[in-house]
Structure 1
């Protein structure tokens, strides 16, 4: 049984490994192993995760069963839109998917931003499982971007994504 809790510095190596495993399982067939390795090295390094953990207007959670982490989630208030929370990451290890871990982490994250009226996220157009999950949780497609993760990494990724939003409150 996994429970959701706030992440700590102690978790970051495990979260980095979880993200690498999840990204390879999900995106190797889409982008290739080398591109996924490049992305995970940049976006999911312990150093990059530590910066997220320090951010004041954010929430970083993990799903923990006391022995291992089964998932992670990270959301933060938009720097440019004061009523928008951005769901940057919500990942569950493939072997633990279907156990309601994603649902539980999402339920926690969507309550962490009382000033937010909208939660926004980006999702790879070919990630049909993630799209189905988000739509089942009230998100609707509102657009597209050619720069997935651009605001989290500070650079142009060139990765296409669908943009989804959900009204909060």
Structure 2
């Protein structure tokens, strides 16, 4: 059984490996394995994850059974809209998907921002599995944007939002 807890620095190497595996499973078909490897090496490195772990007004959680980290989630308050929580990452290893781990990670993140009135995320419109998960958990599409960083800059994203606190 997996329990959701706050991540610590000792988890970061395992989280990096988890993200690399889930990114390849989720995005190789969309972006190509080389692009995914290059982006993941930067975005999911231990130093990059440590910066997220240390950020104020954020929450970094993992699903842990004492032996394995099966999933992770990271959200932070928007600097522009302090009542908006931004869900940056929610990933579960493919072999542990459809066991409620993503639901449990998300449920924990929802409660971490008591002053937030909404949670928002961006998702690749071709990522049908993620869109199905988020819509099943109350998110609705509210707009479109584009990636603004790294070699995926310019690629389209859909923006989804869910009201919080009531």
Q: What interval of TM-score do these two structures reach, taking the shorter chain for normalisation?
A: over 0.9
Within 2, Cα distance between the matches of 1:81 and 1:156?
A: 25
**1:16-95 superposed matches below 5 A:** 16-95=16-95
Structure 2 unaligned residues grouped into runs of 5+: none
1:15 alignment partner in structure 2: 15
Within 2, Cα distance between the matches of 1:39 and 1:88?
A: 15
Does 2:135 align with 1:160? no
Within 1, Cα distance between the matches of 2:111 and 2:151?
A: 29
Listed one character per residue, the Cα deviations across residues 100-129 of structure 1 (whole Å, up to 9, x for unaligned) are 000000000000001100100011111111
Q: Is the 8 A contact 2:19 2:91 kept in 1?
A: yes
Listed one character per residue, the Cα deviations across residues 21-79 of structure 1 (whole Å, up to 9, x for unaligned) are 00001100110011101110111110100000001100000000110100000000001
Q: Could you list the runs of 4 or more consecutive aligned residues of structure 1 that deviate by over 4 angstroms after TM superposition?
A: 153-156
1:154 shift after superposition: 8.7
Q: Is the 8 A contact 2:83 2:116 kept in 1?
A: yes
Structure 1 unaligned residues grouped into runs of 5+: none
User: What is the Cα-based RMSD across aligned positions, in Å?
Assistant: 1.4
Secondary structure at the aligned position of 1:115 is classed as coil
In the alignment of these two chains, the number of paired residues is 165
Normalising by structure 2, we get a TM-score of: 0.96
Does 2:148 align with 1:144? no
Secondary structure at the aligned position of 1:110 is classed as helix
